[in-house]
Amino acid sequence: MAVTSHASLAMHEEATRLADGIRRLVYNIWWTWNPRAQQLFKTLSEEAWVKSNHSAVAVLQALTHDELIANLYSKRVGAMAAEVIEEFESYLADKNTWGAAHCPHFRQHPVAYFSAEFGFHESLPVYSGGLGILSGDHLKSSSDLDVPMIGITLFYRGGYFQQRLNADGWQEENYPPMDPRKLPVELVTDAQGEPIVCKLKIAHTDVAFHAWRLNVGRNVLYLLDTNRPENELHHREITARVYGGDQTTRVSQELMLGVGGVRFLRAIGVDPSVFHLNEGHSAFLLLELIREQIAQGKSLADAQAAVRKKAVFTTHTPVPAGHDRFSRDLMDHLLHCWPEALKMNTEQFMDLGREQPGNPADPFTMTVLALQNTRAANAVSELNGEVSREMWRHLYNNVEAEKVPIGHITNGVHILGWMNRVTYSFWEYNLGVEWLKHIMQPDFWEKVADPRFLSDEVIWSLRYRLKRQMIEAMRERLEFQQARIGGGMAYSGQLPMHPDSLTIGFARRFATYKRAALLFSDIDRAARLFNDPQRPLQMVISGKAHPRDDGGKGLIQQIYRISRDPRFFGKVFFIENYDIQVARYLVSGCDVWLNTPRRPLEASGTSGQKTTVHGCLNLSILDGWWREGYDGTNGFAIGEDTNSNNVAEQDKIDTENLYAMLENDVIPEYFDRDAMDLPRKWIQRIRRAMVTLIPQFNTDRMVADYATKYYLEHE
Ligand SMILES: *Cc1c(COP(=O)(O)O)cnc(C)c1O
């Protein structure tokens, strides 16, 4: 018979307690914005962590129970786990929060935040671009501030595609299916453990759906999923892909998101204090809310008034063509039961979404439905607000644009989620462990301007470490990519990026208005820039084009070919399969973040906001957020605060300004070194960026603005 000592029993109990804590940790993606938690998972199984694209679930599943317990017997691992679990639990338990002070009643009646995509982490690809990143960051900061919020989206089993280039540099897409058992999600079930199943009529069929729950710190996201055995195959596929399929799929997805979302919230007994529509995709939720009111006996006008009081709308899209518009035929077919449910005829129903009510040829525009049935609407930067007011004047009797009731709240980023361990430790060391609590306070950041507080040498050393990290990670990808694509020149072992080169980054969706190839408009002039031995320059480019956007794919091909051209080979790199992880490397490792949208089409843009905390500088057209962020000292502007309506003319002006800025300002300043080989002016610019931009362009400030200006009712 084995003899067990007390000490041994106590160790076992402690390890079991920690193992339970780790299980709770894994199923709350708070770990995606806590570098110490990530380090813990990496320590438990580096292989599972790396192979799964950093999934804590994969790590947990790789270890047997006994192995996990045994790991935790180690003093080092046990202490690490204890520290992270303690941090997590005190985060959840903290009562001294911004939300407790400003909106305590949201605890009973949370904000319901609807968005067609959410970008949280590389291991959960249910987003396609900036809109999703914004939603993910919104939910994370709501948790940090303790603004109770429930997110609603769809569970896209095929996610967004993975990108590969073929030997021609043409983008190919594939959709490896996600297995919910390998994600930090749980099926939503009732008290008996049965899935909660709701229904929604699409055309003539009741389509069933269930939901997955994702814990996001203090808050929750529900992902609705039509992949149920009782559904016909084409209905099971409604939620297969992010913005997948044709117009029928699109309307079906939007019905599921909006109407399905409200039905699901009712089924789990949630009565939100406010519904926030992030873009028009979810606007059908307003129909469901109106239907509920009418079913209770209200007149249409009273129903609409009651719904309007509860809903707010954020519009991003600055061009009329970008808004969802659905034809009368499509609406008649897919929403055929709705006019009757709302006690109106089909014409009246269509008028709910018409820019010209009464015009039978006018389609149903989701933005119109949203603007007319919400109590407040906003755009996502000051300029985007001006553009939106001008664009929708006709819905308000053509009043002057300033009187159109669309305001703006400029987007931000969730700083911690975009940070890597090096930067995190840097700020923790220099600003103290409580620094994250002060993210939105400008006076807290002022000390960074003072070289006695933070020396030039220390900032420069951070820059080199981050660049090294990025170079090593991208080199690995490039070698792998090169081996697969094959053809032509190879990087033949030598480091294909240089830490002393001024490194420009450009990564975002390859929508054509973002003009990824602007820097190469004059290829000879570009070649001169990239081939000055005294002032070495390199550029890293990454991004996906929408699967149906041949224009965007053409730009990728053009960049890929340039990267194989002897004049640019080894200096211009295209990195396949842009995702949150690649973004995190590039926004930290690059020296300059280039942004060249055709103004005013970049509603806000957020990638440039991710760079500042790492000491990377923005070089951007004065569009979206940068028009507000740039103050002449904290980065670089391309051109003026204006634009022409003539696209060709504007492209020409912007190209010239971009080259001039690089040749006369950016490159000379970076290579202007003193006796210690430090670029003092450049570093001064980095300080100015940190002081002026970090406290402003973050989602804590943004969510606090939403809460005070939009979520809380002002009588
Ligand atoms: C930040 C981010 C975006 C948005 O970038 P913009 O420059 O605002 O277009 C898109 N995709 C990923 C993966 C990101 O991290």
Query: Which tokens sit at 341?
Result: 């449910």
Q: What is the DSSP code (8-state) at residue 178?
A: P
The residue whose CA has the least distance to atom 5 of ligand 1 is 607
- pLDDT band per the 50, 70, 90 thresholds, residue 5: confident
403 vs 390: CA distance, rounded Å: 10
Residue 370 covered by a domain: yes
Confidence (pLDDT) at 428: 95
Query: Which tokens sit at 420?
Result: 């890597």
Q: Position 131: which residue type? A: L
- pLDDT band per the 50, 70, 90 thresholds, residue 7: confident
Q: Does 347 lie in the same domain as 221?
A: yes
8 Å CB contact between 644 and 586: no
Task: Specify the residue for token string 């950041």.
Answer: 445
For ligand 1, the distance from its centroid to the CA atom of residue 514, given in whole angstroms, is 12
195 vs 208: CA distance, rounded Å: 11
Query: β-pairing, 364-365 with 325-326?
Result: antiparallel
Q: Compute the CA torsion angle 422, 424, 429, 435 (nearest 10 deg).
A: 170
Q: Does 110 lie in the same domain as 86?
A: no
Give me the phi and psi of 352, to 5 degrees please.
-60, -25
Give me the phi and psi of 155, to 5 degrees please.
-90, 100
- pLDDT band per the 50, 70, 90 thresholds, residue 270: very high
Residues 6+ apart with CB under 8 A from 673: 679
Q: Does 118 lie in the same domain as 85?
A: no
Residue 715 pLDDT > 50: no
- pLDDT band per the 50, 70, 90 thresholds, residue 491: low
Q: Does 64 lie in the same domain as 192?
A: no
Residue 399 pLDDT > 50: yes
DSSP string, 383-443: HHHHHHHHHHGGGGTT--GGGSSEEE----B-GGGG--HHHHHHHHHHH-TTGGGGTT-HH
**Positive or negative CA dihedral for 702, 703, 704, 707?**
positive
Q: Does 447 lie in the same domain as 377?
A: no
Mean of the per-residue pLDDT values of the chain: 96
- Can you give the residue range of the structural domain that contains 128? 99-163+173-411+704-711
Confidence (pLDDT) at 485: 86
For ligand 1, the distance from its centroid to the CA atom of residue 608, given in whole angstroms, is 9
Which of 32, 607, 609, 614 most suits a substitution to test ligand 1, by most atoms within 8 Å of the C-beta?
607
Residues flanking ligand 1, CB < 6 Å:
129-130, 133, 508-509, 578-580, 583, 605-607
Class of residue 60 by CB neighbours under 10 A (exposed 0-12, middle 13-18, buried 19+): buried
Burial per residue of 103-114, b for 16 or more beta-carbon CB atoms within 10 angstroms, e otherwise: beebeeebbbbb
Which ligand 1 atom is the nearest neighbour of the CA of 580?
13
Residue 112 covered by a domain: yes
Q: Does 328 lie in the same domain as 468?
A: no
Percent with pLDDT over 70 in the chain: 98
> How many C-beta neighbours within 10 Å does residue 73 have?
14
- pLDDT tens-digit series, residues 163-212: 999 999 999 999 999 999 999 999 999 999 999 999 999 999 999 999 99
- 3-state SS assignment for residue 557: helix
Average pLDDT over residues 293-319: 97
- pLDDT band per the 50, 70, 90 thresholds, residue 3: low
The Cα angle at residue 616 between residues 379 and 378, in degrees rounded to 5: 5
Query: Which tokens sit at 179?
Result: 């297995």
Q: Does 529 lie in the same domain as 621?
A: yes
Residue 416 covered by a domain: no
- pLDDT tens-digit series, residues 97-142: 999 999 999 999 999 999 999 999 998 988 999 999 999 999 999 9
Confidence (pLDDT) at 284: 98
Q: Does 113 lie in the same domain as 87?
A: no
Q: How many domains does the chain have?
A: 3
Q: Does 329 lie in the same domain as 197?
A: yes
For ligand 1, the distance from its centroid to the CA atom of residue 583, given in whole angstroms, is 7
For ligand 1, the distance from its centroid to the CA atom of residue 131, given in whole angstroms, is 8
- pLDDT tens-digit series, residues 454-487: 999 999 999 999 999 999 999 999 988 988 887 6
> How many C-beta neighbours within 10 Å does residue 13 have?
10
- pLDDT band per the 50, 70, 90 thresholds, residue 19: very high
148 vs 142: CA distance, rounded Å: 7
509 vs 516: CA distance, rounded Å: 9
Residue 1 covered by a domain: no
Q: What is the pTM of this model?
A: 0.97
